[in-house]
Structures are given as C-alpha cells and as structure tokens.
C-alpha cells in the first residue's frame, strides 16, 4: 500500500465516521454519546458542522477517531475469548461503560 492509497483510506474513514456520527446524533443524542464515547460539547460541535466543514475536516491526512479500548480492556477481551462468547461481549460492554468520555479541549 503506497502513501496515496493510505491517505485515501484515512479520508474515507474520516468522512464515514463524521457522517455516521452526525446521523447518530440526529436520531438520538443521548444514545450517540454512549455509542461514540464523546462528551456533550463534542456532540454539539459535531452536529453543528455543515457538510462543507465535514468534508474539509475529513480530508486531513490524520485519522479523526481514536482507539477506545485501553490496554487493560483489550487484554481482558482477548483473554476472555475462551470463555462463553456471550458473556465476554457483555463483559466488554460493562467495562466500556465505565470509561470516561472524550472531552472537547
């Protein structure tokens, strides 16, 4: 994969992420906060972006969304896999809901 393909991939993900986030916020603001793991200020900022702003934001060559599983969580998930699949997913969800939201600095 060369640099141009890489940048294209990043832009695609950014655009997808921003549009999906806006859609989720429009449908149910509180649920979007839970699903996205971002603060209320953040959600208001995202939902206030115009389509032109979304595109401008998406074309930066930096990924906009951040990895949400911290190391301890990831470890739990991986090691839990030999257990009941259903329970390992529920466990992940329980741990995720204890995580703080991403704040707007």
Partner 1 sequence: MAYKSVVAEAQQVRIAIDLIELGARLQLIQAETILSRERLLKLYKEIKGESPSKGMLPYSTDWFISWQPNIHASLFMDIHQFLVKNAGISGVDALITAYRLYLDQIQGIEGGEPVLSITRAWFLLRFFDADMLQLIPCQTCGGRFVSHVDDLHNHYVCGLCHPPARAGKTKAAKLCEAVA
Applying CB under 8 A, which residues contact partner 1? Answer: 28-31, 33-35, 39-40, 72, 76, 80, 83-87, 89-91, 93-95, 97-98, 101
User: Using the 8-state DSSP alphabet, how is residue 4 labeled?
Assistant: H
Which of 63/90 has CB closer to partner 1?
90
CB of 102 to partner 1, least distance (A): 10
Q: Which residues contact 48 (CB under 8 A, 6 or more apart)?
A: none
CB of 43 to partner 1, least distance (A): 9
Q: Which residue, 65, 57, 68, 62, is CA-closest to 92? A: 68
């Amino acid at each position: 994969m060369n640099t141009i393909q890489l940048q294209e991939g990043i832009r695609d993900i950014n655009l997808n992420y921003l549009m999906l986030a806006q859609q989720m916020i429009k449908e149910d603001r509180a649920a979007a906060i839970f699903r996205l793991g971002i603060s209320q200020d953040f959600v208001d900022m995202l939902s206030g972006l115009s389509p032109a702003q979304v595109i401008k934001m998406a074309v930066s060559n930096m990924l906009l969304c951040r990895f949400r599983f911290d190391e301890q969580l990831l470890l739990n998930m991986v090691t839990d896999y030999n257990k009941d699949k259903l329970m390992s997913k529920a466990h992940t969800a329980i741990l995720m809901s204890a995580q703080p939201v991403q704040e707007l600095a």
